[in-house]
A and B are shown apart, each in its own frame.
Chain A
């Protein structure tokens, strides 16, 4: 059974469950992740589920991060979301490198190129932004080489490309603050997906997904920080509420190494993301 979360506005709940022949054939040997809606989540009538872990990965090699989850977004939002997700991976990857955990860091440098970049390629062309796939791959190589100096240099080169891409996208947006917050929301929603994937039987079973979620949350926090002054000027209470939601989300990730028991379950995570989403209308 393949299920998919659909965000259809805050007052609508949609649960789509569709049989998928190929998945039925592979018989998932892991319980599917389902999320129960709690009583305090009346605003958030949504449902979430994911592919069973035993299911075959999508043909073509694109993971959810860059693929289906963002495919219906406007091109500039899709592109900005992708760039910020790449930055989220880099945040958590860098934490692991600083801890000397090169092997643990490697997935967070390979994911951006393997799972996100391909979905951005057309957007980059459309916005006339220089490609940066080679910069991503070069950075990953420095991880394989475990070469800190080379990593620092390659990271600086990539950061320069990402910053140029961000500038180009934002230049086309009249309301930069709202656009940034909208992007942060998209990144948080992806974090919710990753977090749900990480939890099995009330434990963090998949460390990499936990770390993905951590990186996305901290990147969303950084991103919101870049417009917080303007947001506070527009609506101080709403800005404060945004920050409170982010603080709540950050507290779910006390360290880059996950706690034995999740601080919150996946539905609580989604609920907090919904609180963030609720405030967005104040900044249009």
Chain B
């Protein structure tokens, strides 16, 4: 081989290597040092909790109840879940939630997945623990406008709350500020995002990711430079970076009183992000495509820009699509529901005293049994033991009922006070029909 040819080869080879990495080859070899990355992205085997606030079922149950409790707010009409809605990945689906003054809050409501592993909290990291973070929104004048002292008094006058606190904190059975914040934090630590297709790839299932997704992974770790900040199984380095968003919010800088940290915000985790748009601290980017476009061509150049941000991210349209395809593998295929949330029970009629004559299943998109005989005063319990959302609906002169969305695990109980024939359908799958004949009591 001549020297000239060697020189040409020397120039061409790196290009070929990059092309292979980004080009979508589905083979193992497309990802360099695959076993290293599998270890780097492996999920932990347990959820951490601080020594002074171990997670117990009683504490979690209390925390879940407090999370929904509007008595923590000043006007008694806002709870943590007003912004952190379970259905929306414990966020709110909009750029910035309206505050109590009806003006948008300064920053986006962050989703609450995997907070147990967080090192600091809020977009600017001003809280050092989940316990201290929990107090922030409660007392913030534009968020919940609460007065914790008064809220504790209200809770203390509720016998059920007193019992719940006593169960959760047997060593200190009182309704105190610390116990309230510990219970809220304990609940939040149970919000762990489920395994996704990417986790199956990490475990060694090579076939689970498609070629474009693998190509996106290569870009994520290579040309895109994303892994510089989005590290580990949660895809965050827990650090603060200015990524060049055109926002005047100074972020971390004022917290540290350090100009070099101006415009820097905590690297958000990329887990379950398909279900928690829009993105960034100000919710200014609506889609994954917008996020990738920002890095490729929207970065505002300024002295505080993160050193971890590549100077130039030159991605073709196809490569951007591949990156987006990969990001989607970090989310569940369906909006996830944490195991710590109990199933819902919806009721109609007078089932409290009634005896459940039978239970109907909704497995595989059919009511089973499909015809039921009851007596007046009896109740029917309809359990969603299927994998999809169902609904229980009756449209008749004697009964008009619509259960709303019935997620897997939820139960609807119908009490029948009048004799007659009732046709029950699933409004979502109207081909699912259940016939109920209610006979007069003897």
Contact = CB atoms under 8 A, between A and B. Distances in A.
A206 B430 contact: yes
Interface stretch (A54-62, A165-173, A241-249, A269-277): A54-62
A198 to B, nearest CB: 9
Interface in B294-311: none
B141 interface: no
Nearest to B433: A53
B88 A142 contact: yes
A26 B370 contact: yes
Contacts of A144: 87, 389, 405, 407
Contact of A142 (B93, B278, B388): B93
Interface string B364-408: 011000110000000000000000110101010000001111010
Given A142-B88, A145-B88, A147-B88, A57 B277 contact: no
Interface string A141-182: 111110101110110010000000000000000000000000
Nearest to A130: B321
A102 B405 CA distance: 9
Contact of B277 (A26, A61, A138): A138
A262 interface: no
Given A149-B93, A208-B430, A102 B404 contact: yes
B21 interface: no
B342 interface: no
B366 A208 contact: no
B427 A137 contact: no
Interface in B46-89: 85-88
B335 A137 contact: yes
Given A26-B370, A30-B433, A134-B328, A106 B427 contact: yes
Contacts, number: 118
Contacts of B403: 103
A147 B85 contact: yes
Contacts of A63: 429, 431
Contacts of A134: 274-275, 328, 331
Contacts of A150: 85, 88, 92-94
Contacts of A57: 365-366, 429, 431-432
Interface string A60-72: 0101000000000
B425 interface: yes
B73 to A, nearest CB: 18
Nearest to A29: B435
Contact of B87 (A61, A141, A157): A141
Interface string B11-36: 00000000000000000000000000
A29 B85 contact: no
Given A29-B371, A138-B275, A150-B88, A143 B405 contact: yes
A104 B402 contact: yes
A111 interface: yes
Majority DSSP secondary structure for residues of B touching A: loop
A197 B429 CA distance: 13
A28 B425 CA distance: 14
A51 B433 CA distance: 13
B101 interface: no
A57 B86 CA distance: 31
Contacts of A138: 93, 274-275, 277, 335
Contacts of B404: 102-103, 106
Nearest to A102: B404
B171 interface: no
Contact of B85 (A26, A104, A145): A145
A207 interface: yes
Contacts of B435: 29
B42 interface: no
Nearest to B94: A149
B148 interface: no
Contacts of B393: 207-208
A61 to B, nearest CB: 6
Interface in A87-119: 102-104, 106-107, 110-111, 114
A142 B88 CA distance: 7
B287 interface: yes
Contacts of B371: 29
Top 8 nearest A-B pairs (CB, nearest first) are A150-B93, A145-B87, A103-B404, A144-B87, A107-B428, A107-B427, A145-B85, A103-B402
Given A114-B429, A138-B335, 8 more contacts: A29-B371, A103-B405, A130-B321, A138-B275, A142-B88, A145-B85, A157-B286, A207-B395
15 contacts: A26-B370, A29-B435, A61-B388, A103-B405, A107-B391, A114-B388, A134-B275, A138-B277, A145-B87, A145-B88, A147-B88, A150-B85, A150-B94, A153-B93, A208-B393
Interface of B: 85-88, 92-95, 98, 274-275, 277-278, 286-287, 321, 328, 331, 334-335, 365-366, 370-371, 388-389, 391, 393, 395, 402-405, 407, 423, 425, 427-433, 435
